[in-house]
Amino acid sequence: FQTQSLRLSDLHRKSQLWRGIVSVTLIEGRELKAMDANGLSDPYVKFRLGHQKYKSKIVPKTLNPQWREQFDFHLYEERGGIIDITVWDKDAGKKDDFIGRCQVDLSTLSKEQTHKLEMPLEEGEGCLVLLVTLTASAAVTISDLSVNSLEDQKEREEILKRYSPMMMFHNIKDVGFLQVKVIRAEALMAADVTGKDSFSKSDPFCVVELNNDRLLTHTVYKNLNPEWNKIFTFNIKDIHSVLEVTVYDEDRDRSADFLGKVAIPLLSIQNGEQKAYVLKNKQLTGPTKGVIYLEIDVIFNAVKASIRTLMPKEQKYIEEEDRLSKQLLLRNFIRMKRCIIVLINAAYYISSCFDWDSPPRSLAAFLLFLFVVWNFELYMIPLALLLLLAWNYFLIVAGKDNRQHDTVVEDMLEDEEEEDDRDDKDSEKKGFMTRLYAIQEVCVSVQNILDEVASFGERIKNTFNWTVPFLSWLAIVALSVFTIILYFIPLRYIVLLWGINKFTKKLRSPYAIDNNELLDFLSRVPSDVQVVQYHELKQDPSHSPSKRKKNNP
């Protein structure tokens, strides 16, 4: 955090933390240098602006890759900055090959305008095609409790007007407004031991993150019950984002020590309620010592939020490389196995109907089969899914919720955390892993594929389980529309319109980023692992406000 530490004492009581946003769309590469024996390359691109980093996907076996990926950077300097861009060839089992580099000088570009750039690569061959747009700053601020936007009637009315239904098609990317009051923490873990009597203390500070927006409080020295009393505001780009609040212990001699963390999905926030959140461990699977008091307000436009749900998620800055973990591999295998078992059980159930194991059930299934096949229309597919959503909703309303807290996944996450701790202690004994890099890379790929497959199945299940009501209601609206369309419009016309759209999309918008609306929707639905991570822990009664008042008359 040293490179981006923002001391509040150096800021105004309410100040803009960055001056703009730079949106970079990586379109394609042309005639890149061949780095492999087959006369081709497996290129990917790295971007860097200050401490902000991004990495594109790898396009295998080509010298003219098509990426069509978008990345957003924060612009801290009024005069601009320089984006360093490097192109690499991915090599399994050895160091990646350097293909070339180029730079984009943002000070030469005009604002509020999209620039198409063809950047020749230095120290290499070919060029990259980019779209670069500089826009005005998002409203991301830090202030004291005395400066509260939502308590100022005029400012509150302006914010409500900005996200009113009348503004549903104005600036689709600006979905909503988030205000976070970081009030205080209590009973934190002691990270430092000093003095003759081994006095335990910490120097805690708080990091508030929303996607790639990261803000810090000041440090309260030698205190296990710090009071920050700061307000953070963010623009919401995606209502399905997760607010992360992490408490660290400042240590000037080395990196900050982790004290605790909470992850709060924006859709689960209750506006204006001061709440004590039990701090969790790094894996967000269980409690650690201490609680943090937050008051959060979310204002958003539901139509904009629904439209953004069908667009690609914002990509985070480059994170630490994936590494092989036998617990993680086992966890993903078990998750995928559970999804497959559901399909197998459904197949056994259908087979039992064919075998007449239960004559009444088989007779009902036979009559239903005859009725459906005889009267089948395409609109019945979304209608059936719509009825499933409605059935589960009425079960929840009636108090017959069949969703169970996933203790299996939670246990596996705890095992994984224990393994992480062992890995930290035994890191010096891992020399042999470097010699088996190629094998590890294959295992990591398998591990990630298992995670993607398991997450896909779990997200479909959680859509119909009403895990996130906003998304389930959105699914109901979409399925209702599809049912009506398929009922009234012949299938051949729908297929014809779909084909015309697909064939003309490139002509209408040459640089459009390809996406699948259904997959973008499912990416917002939490998997079972994320449900466990975002689950709010019950507070220890000793930390309740009333108890605190009694203990501190």
Read off the amino acid at residue 204: P
**Cβ-based neighbour number of residue 308 at 10 Å:** 25
- Domain span including residue 473: 329-415+435-534
What is the distance between the terminal CA atoms of the chain, rounded to a whole angstrom? 38
C-beta separation of 49 from 73 below 8 A: yes
Q: Say whether both 459 and 515 belong to one domain.
A: yes
The predicted-structure confidence for 500-537, as pLDDT tens digits, reads as follows 877 677 678 877 777 788 888 999 999 988 988 888 88
In a domain, 184, yes or no: yes
In a domain, 174, yes or no: yes
Please answer whether residues 402 and 462 qualify as being in contact, where contact means their C-beta atoms are separated by less than 8 angstroms.
no
Q: What pLDDT is recorded for position 414?
A: 60
> Cβ distance 44 to 307 under 8 Å?
no
Residue 26 and residue 94 share a domain:
yes
Highest mean pLDDT among 8-12, 222-226, 375-379: 222-226
Per-residue tokens: 241? 């984002």
Q: What is the structure's pLDDT at 276? A: 93
Between CA 148 and CA 159 the distance in angstroms is: 13
Is 442 part of a structural domain of the chain? Answer: yes
For every residue of 219-273, which 3-state class applies, written as one string? CCCCCCCCEEEEEEEEEECCCCCEEEEEEEECCCCCCCEEEEEEEEEHHHCCCCE
Give the count of alpha carbons within 13 A of 26, CB side only: 27
Task: Give the CATH number for residue 62.
Answer: 2.60.40.150
Quick one: 138 exposed, middle or buried, by C-beta within 10 A (0-12, 13-18, 19+)?
buried
Q: State both tokens at 180.
A: 């976070």
Same domain membership, residue 304 and residue 177: yes
Residues 471 and 522 in one domain: yes
| Three-state secondary-structure class, residue 136 | strand
**Shared domain check, 354 and 451:** yes
Pairing between strand 14-16 and 20-30? unpaired
Please give the residue that has the higher pLDDT: either 150 or 42. 42
At residue 334, the 3 state secondary structure works out as helix
pLDDT at 8: 35
Q: Is 246 found in the same domain as 299?
A: yes
| 91 and 175 part of one domain | no
Instruction: Decide which of 108, 136, 164 is a domain's last residue.
Output: 136
Let me know whether 498 and 392 are in one domain. yes
pLDDT of 354 > 60? The answer is yes
317 located within any domain:
no
Establish if 148 belongs to a structural domain: no
Q: Round to whole Å and give the CA distance between 533 and 527.
A: 10
- Are 103 and 240 part of one and the same domain? no
Same domain, 199 and 121: no
pLDDT top residue among 512 and 385? 385
Look at residue 318 and tell me if it is in a domain. Answer: no
User: Total domain count for the chain?
Assistant: 3
CA distance 35 to 58: 14
> CA 210 → CA 36, 69, 122, 406, distances in Å?
40, 21, 36, 26
Mean pLDDT of 209-231: 87
Q: Going edge to edge, which strands form the sheet with 227-236?
A: 14-16, 141-144, 227-236, 176-186, 287-300, 273-280, 257-265, 242-249, 204-210, 213-216
Instruction: Tell me, yes or no, whether 368 and 496 share the same domain.
Output: yes
pLDDT at residue 470, rounded to an integer? 93
Confidence band for 30, pLDDT divided at 50, 70 and 90? very high
Handedness of CA 70, 74, 75, 81 (dihedral sign): negative
Q: How confident is the model at residue 107 (pLDDT cuts 50, 70, 90)?
A: confident
Domain contains 1: no
Tell me the Cα Rg of the chain: 27
Residue 427 lies in a domain: no
pLDDT in tens, 445-467: 778 888 888 899 899 999 999 99
Verify that 186 and 96 share a domain, yes or no. Answer: no
Q: Is the pLDDT of residue 69 over 50?
A: yes
φ/ψ (deg, to 5) at 218: -75, 170
Mean pLDDT of the chain: 80
- Please report the pLDDT score of residue 263 as a whole number: 94
Question: Do residues 162 and 177 make contact, with C-beta atoms less than 8 angstroms apart?
Answer: yes
